[in-house]
C-alpha cells in the first residue's frame, strides 16, 4: 500500500456547514422557536442519560445487596 504523498490525504473530509444566516435575516419568533426546540432536545437527551444511569445504579445496588446477603 503506497504511503500518502502529503498530510492532506490523511485528513478526513467533513461536510461543510451551511452558511450562517445573519440575525437581521431571522425573525425574533423564529429564533425563540429554535431556542425552545434545542432546549427541549437537550432535556430529552439529559433525561435519557439519567434513566440509563439509574438503571446501572439500581442493577449495581441489587448485585451488591445479593452478594452481601
- Using only C-alpha atoms, the chain has a radius of gyration, in whole angstroms, of 24
pLDDT in tens, the chain (69 residues): 555 565 556 567 767 767 776 767 778 888 899 999 999 998 988 888 888 888 887 877 777 777 786
Which whole-number Å values give the CA distances from 56 to 40, 43, 44, 48, in the listed order? 25, 20, 19, 13
What is the reported pTM?
A: 0.46
Confidence at residue 40, expressed as pLDDT on a 0 to 100 scale: 92
Q: How far apart are CA 47 and CA 53, in angstroms?
A: 10
Confidence at residue 63, expressed as pLDDT on a 0 to 100 scale: 79
Amino acid at each position: 500500500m503506497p504511503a500518502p504523498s502529503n498530510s492532506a490525504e490523511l485528513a478526513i473530509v467533513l461536510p461543510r456547514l451551511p452558511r450562517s444566516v445573519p440575525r437581521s435575516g431571522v425573525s425574533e419568533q423564529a429564533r425563540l422557536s429554535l431556542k425552545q426546540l434545542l432546549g427541549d432536545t437537550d432535556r430529552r437527551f439529559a433525561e435519557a442519560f439519567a434513566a440509563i444511569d439509574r438503571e446501572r445504579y439500581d442493577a449495581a445496588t441489587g448485585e451488591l445487596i445479593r452478594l452481601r446477603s
